[in-house]
Amino acid sequence: MAEETKVTACYMCWQQCEVKMRIKDGVLKEVTGNPGGFVGGGYGCERLEGAPEFHYHPKRLNYPLKRTGERGEGKWEQISWEQALDEIAEKLLAIRDEFGPEAITKIGGTVHGPADWACWRFFNIWGSPNAFNQGKNCGQANNLQECAVYGWDSLGCGPKPGATKTIVCWGANPIHSWMTKWNYIKSAMDYGARLIVIDPRLSETASHADLWIQLRPATDGALAWGVIKILIDEGLYDKEFVDNWCTGFDEIVERAKEFPVEKVAQITEVPVDKIIQLAHYYADGPTCMCWGLATCHLGDGAGQVATHAQAVLRAITGNVDREGGNPMTGPHEDVDWFKGIAWDEFIINTERTRDCVTAEKFPICSVKSLKRYNESIKKAWGGKGYGCSFYMLFPASRGIFDAIRYGDPYPIKAMFIQTGDPLVTLGGVKNCYEAMKQVELLVGMDFFMTPSMALCDYVLPAASWIERPHLMLFWGLTNVAVAFKQPMEALYERKDDYYLWKELAKRCQLEGEWPETLEDMYSLFLRPTGKTLAEMAESEVYWTAPPEAYKRYETNGYGFGTPSGKCELVPSVVAAAGLDPLPQYIEPPQSKYRTPELAEKYPLALISGSRIRPYWHTSYRELKTLRWRHEQPVVEIHPETARTFGIADGEMVYIETTHGRCRQKARVIEGIAPGTVHAEAYWYFPELPEEEPWLFGMWDANINACVSDDYEDLDYAGDHPFRAMLCKIYKAETATAYDLPVFKGVD
Ligand SMILES: Nc1nc2c(c(=O)[nH]1)N[C@H]1C(S)=C(S)[C@@H](COP(=O)(O)OP(=O)(O)OC[C@H]3O[C@@H](n4cnc5c(=O)[nH]c(N)nc54)[C@H](O)[C@@H]3O)O[C@H]1N2
Ligand SMILES: Nc1nc2c(c(=O)[nH]1)N[C@H]1C(S)=C(S)[C@@H](COP(=O)(O)OP(=O)(O)OC[C@H]3O[C@@H](n4cnc5c(=O)[nH]c(N)nc54)[C@H](O)[C@@H]3O)O[C@H]1N2
Ligand code: SF4
Ligand SMILES: [Mo]
């Protein structure tokens, strides 16, 4: 029996751990962490147990499909790739002729691989600024603030064992969401670092904390300002750094006066002594405030003030670009990332034509604003200066749907869905659904028939990480790139995601280099190293990573990547976009203080979508190897809330908001405040029927059908208020989520 071992990077989530695959007679038997691996150091999570099942699953999409019935009727015919590509290209060209290049959009998810950059490359050369990825909800509010205040983001940073003294997980639960980072946190704690967790729930990470701050949801801005005030009053900030490197400190001092600790305690519902403890711990650095998602989901006003105050906090304590604090990666220097995705062409093309559909409504996310960021980032970091690039640009999804439905501000006629399941992962799902029903051309590419795929005109079968070469590019957000050759041949007619865009580019006669294979495209990215992908993958050093560096603002001849070269505590690029650069604290769009009348009807604060293992958002619910670990969606409520609303542990309940309702199973726990409810997100049931009205039961359990995407509820960057709604809960009549037909929500 021929048995072989192949090494590659797992992409069952974006941590991309190095793994080894045991293959017997050409059949994938087992995938495990690769001891000593460059990423993960041999770590492998339980998802790997599902890898062989995922690869051979009977429900995998294996051939291109074309819709034969109405959208969502579940009627398909198998067609060839040639036919699919020819027909799609022909329609695209006709749309461009009639409505302009901006009339196409792509909805994608978080970092998933070649689909992301290959699409951006196509859109950049084609000339549409309306590509959308879930980066929108996945850190955009935070990245824009960090880049505005100190000219780069610290998204990928983690604590440094031995150097970091204080670790802050602010609205982050890495035991479930970022295990490779959690391994660093544990190691730093072994060296004596303390852990602070700021979270309304007693998350698993919070259960390991030296200090758990259980704040009222979405009041993070007030908490951060309360801490800033204590640091200033007690002289616990980094005076030398502030004097030499910061602008706007006087305004910060003035604003901080509005946040005496008693007032902050009243707003956040955190006891005074805990807030003081938090400030004292924070000041005892180096302090690493790891990136946490929560403050990007607080909705209008609340999100901007929280993400801004967090950036100020990192800055005035001197933790920015500091060893053990919040280091910054800077751009990829060994990888032609921006050239690879044709970023210059994007700028040129959109200057000729129109900005993205929500450039007026959310001016911080526009080409004009990106250019302002660029000018100074370039001075500090060299290269092209595009910084976290797409994070500065994604249009608000609601704007895309309005462009499709109403032609406002101009029409969008074609939508691609690749690496995303917008019907399940976006807020305002009902608007998304209507737009998907109306758009002229709807093309999807995925591993499985998902709710979003079920509505498409063409569904294309994607090859996975098991069947494609690997280069870790991570949207340009890290400067580490690891290379592996393709471990196994793609099964059936599955293709890598680059293939789609390359073939469409050829058919549409787009300019630029479009090499035949994904591997050759990766070699183009790697040009600065002088190596091809295969050469790098086969060398002893199969990655590129710059040496550790800190405080580069002192030596780069310019300072921070901001217009003044300083840490701008009141950032001028935010002001230049027409926004308040020193936002006032404001309650989330729905709250007992901001909307007291609404709170009478919907008395509970709703947070939704915290990460749960083993899932990766919507993914892997069809895998028997994993599903048993967590079979149904669960809503967490406090025993007192349960008593008030007559709900017992394990009962099915409705969660209802101003925008809809869905059902989940109650879990009654102490580790959540009585006024707060936590609902799971990303649920659909692959075992239920595909055709409408079922759509795999996604209306039944989908909390995102209850999350607002009204413009006035979105934050300054246009992100959704996933953690800032009000709700009520009540018992559902039936016991499981499987036996009810579809529920379309409250009108
Ligand atoms: N309520 C609530 N909603 C949220 C959030 C929240 O906190 N709360 N978080 C938001 C955030 S931060 C994010 S990032 C999004 C995540 O949302 P998404 O990224 O949309 O979710 P995923 O389930 O990761 O991916 C969606 C689809 O991509 C497919 N896919 C995976 N890899 C590939 C690939 O290589 N090629 C192709 N063609 N398809 C692939 C999967 O099979 C799956 O069907 O959810 C957002 N929604
Ligand atoms: N297993 C698994 N891991 C994942 C993913 C996945 O789908 N599954 N998705 C990946 C992606 S794309 C992302 S963006 C990351 C996100 O990873 P994290 O940043 O860890 O985000 P979450 O787990 O969604 O939320 C973290 C915590 O925020 C808390 N929270 C809710 N509301 C608030 C609030 O108002 N204030 C504060 N301070 N905290 C609040 C929640 O209770 C939760 O415990 O995870 C990544 N890792
Ligand atoms: S954490 Fe698990 S799923 Fe994610 S890359 Fe590592 S082994 Fe794969
Ligand atoms: Mo995300």
Q: What are the DSSP calls for 606-642, one per residue?
A: EEE----TT-BTTBTTT-HHHHTTS-S-EEEE-HHHH
Are 93 and 189 in a shared domain? no
Nearest to 252 by CA among 296, 325, 322, 313: 313
Q: Do the domain assignments include residue 590?
A: no
DSSP 124: H
Residue 391: the pLDDT is 80
Whether 160 and 298 map to the same domain: the answer is: yes
Indicate whether 524 and 632 sit together in one domain: no
681: domain CATH number is: 2.40.40.20
Give how far Cα 13 sits from Cα of 10, 618, 622, Å: 7, 11, 16
Output the CA 242–ligand 2 centroid distance in Å: 31
Question: Residue 34 is part of a domain; what is its CATH number?
Answer: 2.20.25
Distance separating alpha carbons of residues 286 and 650, to the nearest angstrom: 44
- Report if residue 340 sits inside a domain: yes
Same domain flag for 222 and 257 = yes
Q: Give the Å distance between the CA of 291 and the centre of ligand 2.
A: 10
Helix (H) or strand (E) holding 275: helix 272-283
- Boundary of a domain, candidates 27, 56, 85: 56
- Provide the edge-to-edge strand list for the sheet that holds 65-67: 76-78, 65-67, 458-461, 441-446, 414-418, 104-107, 131-132
How much distance in Å is there from the Cα of 235 to the middle of ligand 2? 33
- Find the 18 Cα to ligand 3 centroid distance in Å: 9
Ligand 1 pocket test, pick from 112, 458, 518 with the greatest ligand atom count within 8 Å of Cβ, gives 112
Contacts of residue 311, Cβ cutoff 8 Å, sequence gap at least 6: 145, 146, 148, 149, 150
Stated pTM of the model:
0.97
Q: Is residue 740 part of a domain?
A: no
Residues 304 and 247 in one domain: yes
> Which of 137, 175, 177 is the best mutation target for the ligand 2 pocket, counting ligand atoms within 8 Å of the beta carbon and taking the most?
177
Same domain, 364 and 256: no
**What pLDDT does 1 receive?**
65
SS3 197: strand
Q: Which ligand is nearest to the CA of 299?
A: 2
Find all residues with CB under 8 Å of 509, minimum gap 6, and list them: none
Please list the ranges in the chain whose pLDDT falls under 50: 739-747
pLDDT at 312 (0 to 100): 98
Q: Does 291 share its domain with 269?
A: yes
Return the structure tokens found at 355.
């900005």
Q: Is 21 strand, coil or helix?
A: strand
Is the distance from the beta carbon of residue 15 to the nearest atom of ligand 1 less than 6 Å?
A: no
Task: Say whether both 84 and 173 belong to one domain.
Answer: no
What distance in angstroms lies between residue 420's CA and the mean position of ligand 3's atoms?
19
Q: What is the pLDDT of residues 699-726, one digit of tens each?
A: 999 999 999 999 999 999 999 999 999 9
Instruction: Answer yes or no: do 365 and 502 share one domain.
Output: yes
Considering only CA atoms, which residue is closest to atom 4 of ligand 3? 13
| Atom in ligand 3 nearest the alpha carbon of residue 16 | 5
Secondary structure letter of residue 216 according to DSSP: P
Any atom of ligand 1 within 6 Å of the Cβ of 170:
no
3-state class of 195 per DSSP? strand
How far apart (Å, rounded) are the C-alpha atoms in residues 681 and 700?
12
pLDDT for 368: 87
Number of independent structural domains in the chain: 4
Co-location of 296 and 174 in the same domain: yes
Please tell me the distance between residue 405's alpha carbon and the centre of ligand 3 in angstroms: 39
**Cα–Cα distance, 8 to 77 (Å, whole number):** 35
Find, among 52, 40, 53, 36, the residue nearest to 9 by Cα.
40
Give SS3 for 104.
strand
Structure tokens at 317: 């304590």
In a domain, 421, yes or no: yes
Between the CA of 294 and the centroid of ligand 4 the distance, in Å, is 10
Q: Exposed, middle or buried by CB within 10 Å (0-12, 13-18, 19+), for 685?
A: buried
The answer to whether residue 656 sits within a structural domain is: yes
Q: Which domain range does residue 534 map to?
A: 65-138+330-544
For the Cβ of 611 lying below 6 angstroms from any atom of ligand 1, the answer is no
- Tell which residue, 166, 119, 178, 108, has the closest CA to residue 478: 178
d(CA 189, CA 357): 46
**Helix H or strand E encompassing 52:** helix 51-56
Per-residue pLDDT, 722: 98
550 in any annotated domain: no
* The two structure tokens encoding residue 390: 């797409």
Q: Tell me if 147 is assigned to some domain.
A: no
Q: Which CATH number goes with the domain that contains 297?
A: 3.40.228.10
Q: What pLDDT was estimated at residue 735?
A: 60
Regarding the beta carbon of 182 and ligand 2, being less than 6 Å apart is answered: no
What is the reported pLDDT for 155?
A: 86
Closest Cα to atom 7 of ligand 3: 44
Residue type, 582: L
Angle at the Cα of 37 from the Cα atoms of 32 and 39, rounded to 5 degrees: 100
User: Based on the domain organization, do 307 and 453 belong to the same domain?
Assistant: no
The answer to the question of residue 746 being in a domain is no
Do residues 336 and 322 both lie within one domain? no
